[in-house]
Amino acid sequence: MRVIEVKNLTFSYDGKHNVLEDVSFYVEKGDFLGIVGPNGAGKSTLLKLILGFLKPKSGEIYLFGKKIEEFKDWKRVGYVPQRLSVEHAFPGTVKELLSSVCEDKKEIDYLVEFLKLKNIVNKQFTKLSGGQQQRVLLAMALSYNPELILLDEPTVGLDVHAINHFMSILLDLNMNHKKSIVMISHDIGTLLKHASKILCLNKKVCYFGEPEGAIEYIEEAFGLRGFLHGVS
């Protein structure tokens, strides 16, 4: 089953200059899709289109087999925005934030345990480390037990330990909890190692497929020929 299908998608903010052009790809149930591309390639815009925040200039988007215009079951989709874009938008403690998106105390307790938030549950979100904030944002996205999780640059600003911890959580969700994951990241090595598919984007699709075949296309998109040789 395809949880996302994008067909010939074109988008422009001003109606003249296309940010995305003729983009097509799909995400099967259980996939871990890594999206890479240089700054300004349209990666975050693509997520906003999939979430229905923006409307395409042309083309079609399907979620769980339904046209996005007809899709209503948004609890099946979890979204983790860029941490740095929202860290000051969430006053209050971790517990208050989780309670604001989930009324089920048992579910909150489960998320606190699963994401190891017990020691920070009464702390202010703005006082947390980057890795802790990222786990809280993931907990909020998981509060409705979605089947599909979209993440926009979740590892930006995190140290190596925090990145490894966060990725271990995502892999657990993907492999053991059967969540489909779509993740934008500049951490190309991590995505090549862990994702089941890679979408290399630079306004158009440069590459879509298995990680093993992605390196030369990623190097070309970033202007880094030979830079990723040996990365896997």
Once rounded to an integer, what is the mean pLDDT over residues 70-94?
Answer: 87
Mean pLDDT of the chain: 92
* Percent of the chain topping pLDDT 90: 76
What is the pLDDT averaged over residues 23-30?
Answer: 98
Three-state secondary structure string covering the chain:
CEEEEEEEEEEECCCCCEEEEEEEEEEECCCEEEEECCCCCCHHHHHHHHCCCCCCCEEEEEECCEECCCCCCHHHEEEECCHHHHCCCCCCEHHHHHHHHCCCHHHHHHHHHHCCCHHHCCCEHHHCCHHHHHHHHHHHHCCCCCCEEEEECCCCCCCHHHHHHHHHHHHHHHHCCCCEEEEECCCHHHHHHHCCEEEEEECEEEEEECHHHCHHHHHHHHCCCCCCCCCC
> What CATH number does the domain located at 2-222 have?
3.40.50.300
**Stated pTM of the model:** 0.91
Average pLDDT for residues 76-81, to the nearest whole number? 95
Ordered by start, the domain boundaries in the chain are 2-222
**Amino acid 224: pLDDT:** 66
- Predicted pLDDT at 87: 66
